[in-house]
Amino acid sequence: MTNHWIDIKNADSILIMGSNAAEHHPISFKWVLKAKDAGATVMHVDPKFSRTSARSDFHVPLRSGTDIAFLGGMIKYILDNEKYFKEYVVEYTNAALVVGKEFGFKDGLFTGYDPKTRTYDKSKWGFEMDANGVPKRDKSLKNPRCVLQLMRKHYSRYGVDAVSATTGVPAKDLLKVYENFAATGRGDKAGTVMYALGWTQHTVGVQNIRSAGIIQLLLGNIGVAGGGINALRGEPNVQGSTDHTLLYHIIPGYMAMPHNGWQTYDEYVKGNTPVSKDPMSANWWQHKPKYFASLLKAWYGDHATKENGFCYELLPKIEKGGDYSYLFLFDRMYRGKIRGGIIIGLNPMNSVPNSNKLRKALDNLEWLVTSELHHSETTDNWHRPGVDPKKVKTEVFLLPSAHRLEKEGSVTNSGRWLLWHYKAVEPAFEAKPFGDMFCGFMGRVKKLYAKEGGKLPEAVTWLDYPEKYDPDDLCARINGRFTKDTEFKGKMYKKGQQVPTFTALKDDGSTMSLNWLYAGSYTEEDGNKAKRRSTEQTEMQKNIGLYPKWAWCWPVNRRILYNRASVDLNGKPYNKAKAVIEWKDGKWVGDVPDGGWPPMATGKGRYPFIMHKHGFGQLFGPGRQDGPFSEHYEPVETPVTKNLFSGQLNSPVYKFVSSDMDKLCKPADPKYPVVLTTYSVTEHWCGGGETRNIPNLLEAEPQLYVEMSPELAKEKGINNGDGVVVESIRGRVEAIAMVTVRMRPFKVHGRVIHEIGMPFCFGWTTPGTGDSTNRLTPFVGDPNTTIPEFKACCVNIRKADKLTELAT
C-alpha cells in the first residue's frame, strides 16, 4: 500500500477491483464503511457478486482478464473530458517529458519487440534529453511526443463500445464508474484503489496495476489522504516476506538479485545505481551502494571489507535472464533436474497451477523436507489418491512447525507497519519456529563445509549467521549497526550500536543492515519500535487517522508515500480538510515528508517521486517487460478469437513452459467454452492447509463448490447442490454446484459468455471436501513477475454421474 488501512476512511471514491476486500481483508471494510458513512461512493468491479459487492454502493460484473480494457477506457474518459488534475499532472508526473523518437506502437506491439526471444529492447522507450542530460519537458503538454499526447493516442482506441464488447460491461455501467472515480481529479477530492490477487494473477498482472497507477497519477490521487494504489496484503505477512525477499528476483530492500552479468561488486553497483543529471531529482536509488554494502556487511560480518568487495563474489548468482520462479522451478523438477528440496510455508501441490503436473514433479525428488502444522497435500504427496506410496522414491521429512501463536516476532502489515506479535503459548511437543530450523540447518551446513571443504566453502563458512534464532536480535540486525565508532549528526555511536536511520548507512564498511528500509525501526534511542502502542498524535494527524507512535512504518515512519505530491509548489496542501503534510514556519508538519527539502517554489526542492530516477510519477513507465503503457491482451486461454484493440491476441511476452503436461486450449475452443476464475474464501486461509483442520471453519465452508449462473445451470441441466465435473485441457475436478444470481452471463463480442468461479482451498488430505482446483489452471505467467494466470482460463462443466472426491 502507498497508504494504509485507516487511511481508506479518507477517500471520497473507492474503487475495489481485482479484490474481494470484504471477504479476504475483512478489516479493510471497517474503514471502507467509515468512508461510506462520510459520503464516499464504494464501487466493486469483479466477475462475481461477492460479500464485498453486497456492501458496496454498486457492483459491476466484468469478464475475468479484461481489466486493462476497462481501465484503458477510464484513462480515455479522463483525458477526453479533461478530468485530470492539471497542476499535479504537469508538475509531478512525467506527462510533460518528451519521449524519444524510437518509441512507437503498432497493432499491439511496442517498438523493440523480438519475436524470437519474446522480449522487448527497452532502450527504445527512452526520453529525449537536453544538452545537460536532463529529460526535455514541455509543460504546455502540446508536444506531440510528450507523454500525455502519446498516452492520449495510445488509449484513443479504448472507446466505450470496444471496452463494453470486450469486458461484457454495459456502457452505462462503465460510465457510472468512470464518472464517479474521475470526479476525484481535483485537489479537494481523493479516490483510492483497492486491489489484490484479482489483478496480479494474470499474464498482464503488472499492467493491470500500471493502469491503475496511471489513473491515480492523472487524478492526483497519489501521496494524498484517501488516495493511493493499495495492494491489500493479508495475514500471511506478504508485505513482510516481500520486503525481506521471499521471491527470487530481489535481495532484501528491493535490490536486484546478483546475476552472472555482474561478477564483481563494482559491476553490480554500476549496473544497479541510477544516475540523474537533474539537480531537482532526488534520485534516491543513487544511495543504493550504501544499502547494498551494508547488506553484504550484515551477511559476511568482519570478513566483508571494502577491499574484497564486501564478499560480493562469494554470493551465488543466477543466470542473467533466467527465471527461477516456481513455475520454472517445478518444470525443472518435472524434467528430473532437481534432486531434493525444502518446501516450507506453502502447499504447492494444492496452490500452484496444473497440480497434476506438480504432483508428478514432486515424485522425482530423492528427498524432501517439509514443515507444517498438519499433514498437507505436499507433505503427503506420495500417499495421494491413485498412487502407490511404495513406488514413490522420495524420502520425506516432516518437521513439526510451531503455530504463529506459539512464537514471537514481527509482521509487516499491508500499510508497511512493522508490528510485534507476542507468543501466546509455548509450542507443543517438539514443534519449533522456522527460524530455529533454519539456524539448525545452517549451523550444520557450516560445520560440514568447515570440515570437508568443497567448492568455495567461504561462501558458507564466512556467513555471519546466528547459531540460535532470536527474533529480537534479528530485528536489531535488520535495522543495522555501526561496525566501528562513528559520529552521526553530532552524536557519537560506538561500534555495535544501532544505526538511527538509513541515512547513516555507508558503503565504506562502517555500517551493516539486513534491510535498509527498516533502518530506524530498532534504535539506541527508542528500542524496538515495532512494540510501540501509543495513540499520541497532533490535531493534524488525528484529522486523517494517522498514528505516528503506533508501531513503526517503513520508510522512516512515513505513513503515506509520495506525500510531497499532496501539496502545491509552495508546500500548501491541495486538500486543506485532509492535509497530510504542510510547510509551516520553515518546516514540514504532519506526516514524515518524503524527503525534507523545502517546497519546490523555493528552488531548493526536489520532485516528489524520489524513487524514480527523474523524480516524476510514471505515466509512461519504461521499466516493465511488456511496455511503457498498459495494453489489453486476452488471457492465454480465452473464449474469443480476436482482440478488439489489436491483432495481438495474447501478451506477446507472457511466460510459459512447455512440457508434455503443459497443454493450453486454443482460443474459443468449443470443448472449453466457459471462463473459470479461482479465488479464496473468508473461512479458509489460502490453500486451506491449516483451516481445513479447524472444525468450526470447515463447518462453515465444508466442500469445494462452483458458483455459476442460473442461466448456465439451465443450459447444462444442473441444479443447485448437484455434483458436477469441471474440466480443462489439463485436468478434471469434482465440485458441488452453487447456482446463484450472483454470477451473471456476459455479453462479449456480441454473444453470451458464461463465467464460473471456484475456491482453491480444498484438498484430498481432508477427506470428502474435494481436491485441488488448480488441476484446472494453466502454467503461464506475467512477464515481469511470472505470477501465474490463476484468474482466467477455459473449462467446461457437466453434471457428475457419481462423486468420488466429495462426500455426499
User: What is the contact surface with another protein in residues (CB under 8 A)?
Assistant: 22-23, 26-27, 29-30, 33, 37, 49, 51-55, 58-59, 682-683, 695-705, 720-723, 736-742, 744, 803, 806-808
Taking the least distance from each CB to another protein, the nearer of 159 and 170 is 170
Residues 442, 546: Cα–Cα separation, whole Å? 41
Taking the least distance from each CB to another protein, the nearer of 581 and 758 is 758
Residues 73, 595: Cα–Cα separation, whole Å? 35
Q: Indicate the SS3 state at residue 743.
A: strand
Taking the least distance from each CB to another protein, the nearer of 29 and 103 is 29
DSSP state of 338: -
Taking the least distance from each CB to another protein, the nearer of 141 and 803 is 803
Taking the least distance from each CB to another protein, the nearer of 456 and 807 is 807
State in angstroms the smallest separation of the CB of 673 from another protein.
Answer: 22
Taking the least distance from each CB to another protein, the nearer of 38 and 450 is 38
State in angstroms the smallest separation of the CB of 803 from another protein.
Answer: 8
Q: Indicate the SS3 state at residue 288.
A: helix
For the chain, what's the residue count? 808
626 close to 653: Cβ distance less than 8 angstroms: yes
728 close to 672: Cβ distance less than 8 angstroms: yes
Return all residues near 161 (Cβ < 8 A) that are at least 6 apart.
Answer: 171
State in angstroms the smallest separation of the CB of 714 from another protein.
Answer: 15
State in angstroms the smallest separation of the CB of 544 from another protein.
Answer: 20
Buried (b) or exposed (e) across 366-376, using 16+ Cβ within 10 A? Answer: eebbbbbbbeb
Grid cell for residue 344:
516450507
State in angstroms the smallest separation of the CB of 176 from another protein.
Answer: 12
Other CB atoms within 10 Å distance of the CB of residue 719? 11
Instruction: Count CA atoms within 13 Å of residue 717 on its CB side.
Output: 4
Residues 692, 771: Cα–Cα separation, whole Å? 12
User: Of the candidates 217, 1, 243, 225, which has an alpha carbon nearest to the alpha carbon of residue 92?
Assistant: 217
Query: Which strand (E) or helix (H) includes residue 150?
Result: helix 147-155
Beta bridge partners of 357: none
Residues 566, 580: Cα–Cα separation, whole Å? 7
Return all residues near 164 (Cβ < 8 A) that are at least 6 apart.
Answer: 170, 171, 174
In angstroms, how far is CA 7 from the centroid of its own chain?
Answer: 20
State in angstroms the smallest separation of the CB of 696 from another protein.
Answer: 5
**H-assigned helices in 558-694:** none
Residues 169, 63: Cα–Cα separation, whole Å? 8
Grid cell for residue 189:
477530492
Taking the least distance from each CB to another protein, the nearer of 58 and 488 is 58
Taking the least distance from each CB to another protein, the nearer of 141 and 175 is 175
Over 446-488, what HEC string results?
Answer: HHHHHHHCCCCCHHHHCCCCCCCCCHHHHHHHHHCEECCCEEE
What Rg do the C-alpha atoms of the chain give, in angstroms?
A: 26
State in angstroms the smallest separation of the CB of 30 from another protein.
Answer: 5
State in angstroms the smallest separation of the CB of 190 from another protein.
Answer: 22
Tell me the helix, strand and coil percentages in the chain, rounded to 5: 30, 20, 50
In angstroms, how far is CA 151 from the centroid of its own chain?
Answer: 25
Label residue 469 left, alpha or beta by phi (over 0 means left) and psi (-120 to 50 means alpha): beta
In angstroms, how far is CA 705 from the centroid of its own chain?
Answer: 27
State in angstroms the smallest separation of the CB of 429 from another protein.
Answer: 23
799 close to 717: Cβ distance less than 8 angstroms: yes
State in angstroms the smallest separation of the CB of 727 from another protein.
Answer: 19
State in angstroms the smallest separation of the CB of 183 from another protein.
Answer: 19
State in angstroms the smallest separation of the CB of 704 from another protein.
Answer: 8
Taking the least distance from each CB to another protein, the nearer of 61 and 687 is 61
Grid cell for residue 290:
550504501
State in angstroms the smallest separation of the CB of 700 from another protein.
Answer: 5
CA distances from 402 to 18, 407, 440, 441 (A): 33, 7, 15, 17
State in angstroms the smallest separation of the CB of 173 from another protein.
Answer: 11
User: Of the candidates 265, 391, 451, 349, which has an alpha carbon nearest to the alpha carbon of residue 764?
Assistant: 349
CA distances from 275 to 65, 290, 502, 619 (A): 37, 15, 20, 20
Taking the least distance from each CB to another protein, the nearer of 585 and 699 is 699
Grid cell for residue 92:
509531478
State in angstroms the smallest separation of the CB of 243 from another protein.
Answer: 25
Taking the least distance from each CB to another protein, the nearer of 28 and 351 is 28
State in angstroms the smallest separation of the CB of 805 from another protein.
Answer: 12
State in angstroms the smallest separation of the CB of 737 from another protein.
Answer: 6
Cis bond upstream, residue 555 (ω within 30): yes
State in angstroms the smallest separation of the CB of 771 from another protein.
Answer: 14
Q: Indicate the SS3 state at residue 51.
A: helix
Grid cell for residue 782:
506475467
Residues 463, 304: Cα–Cα separation, whole Å? 10
Residues 782, 785: Cα–Cα separation, whole Å? 5
Grid cell for residue 27:
478489516
Taking the least distance from each CB to another protein, the nearer of 365 and 697 is 697
